[in-house]
Amino acid sequence: MKKLSTKELHKRLELEDLALFDVRGDVAYEEGHIPGAKTAPLGSLVFRVASIMNPDSHIAVYADEADASLAAEATERLENLGLKNVYCYAEGLEGWRDAGLPVIPSPHAKTQARGPVIECRQVIVDRHRAYGGAFENISAEVAGAGG
């Protein structure tokens, strides 16, 4: 398994010759990640990474200190798919932070709702406009949900 140090990763990201993927969950990614990283949780790694990269692409993956084995497993999975230049950034998010490098939140982070729902409002859908007349001759009882 090929590994990158913080210094090497930083240099390669500046040169833009490496695609970086955060293999933690999407919510953890949104809370803070290495600038330039894309989210690719282990469960969707093949879909998000292998399907868009060619065998010669240079790729690095990382997680965080608590899940250091995730990055190693992600590296192995990508190598098993035939990707030749996969690197594990084992120092993870903590190593990046410890080096004084920036960690950024996602600009479109999802807020996690907690507590009771205070108000709900009814949503009314005009089926003719919403579906371009597809349900024009069908009664609401037959059309089911959305009607």
Q: Is 139 a domain residue?
A: no
* CATH code, domain with 10: 3.40.250.10
Residue 15 structural domain = 2-98
Domain-located, residue 66: yes
Q: What is the DSSP string of 93-135?
A: HHHHHHTT---B--TTPPP---S-----------HHHHTTTTT
Residue 110 counted as domain residue:
no
- pLDDT tens, 60-88? 999 987 777 899 999 999 999 889 999 99
Residue pair 42/70 in contact (Cβ under 8 Å)? The answer is yes
Q: Between the CA of residue 23 and those of 3, 50, 116, what are the distances in Å?
A: 15, 13, 32
In a domain, 60, yes or no: yes
Query: Does residue 120 surpass a pLDDT of 90?
Result: no
**pLDDT grade for 147, boundaries at 50, 70 and 90:** very low
- Tell me, yes or no, whether 76 lies in a domain: yes
Q: With bands split at pLDDT 50, 70 and 90, how would you rate the model's confidence at 95?
A: very high
The structure's pTM equals: 0.71
| Domain-embedded: residue 107 | no
Domain presence at residue 129: no
The answer to whether residue 145 sits within a structural domain is no
Given a cut of 90, whether residue 142 has pLDDT beyond it is: no
Number of domains the chain is built from: 1
Residue 10 confidence (pLDDT) above 60? yes
User: How many whole angstroms separate alpha carbon 53 and alpha carbon 94?
Assistant: 27
Q: What is the pLDDT of residues 19-54, one digit of tens each?
A: 999 999 888 999 999 999 999 998 888 888 877 788
pLDDT of the residue at 106: 82
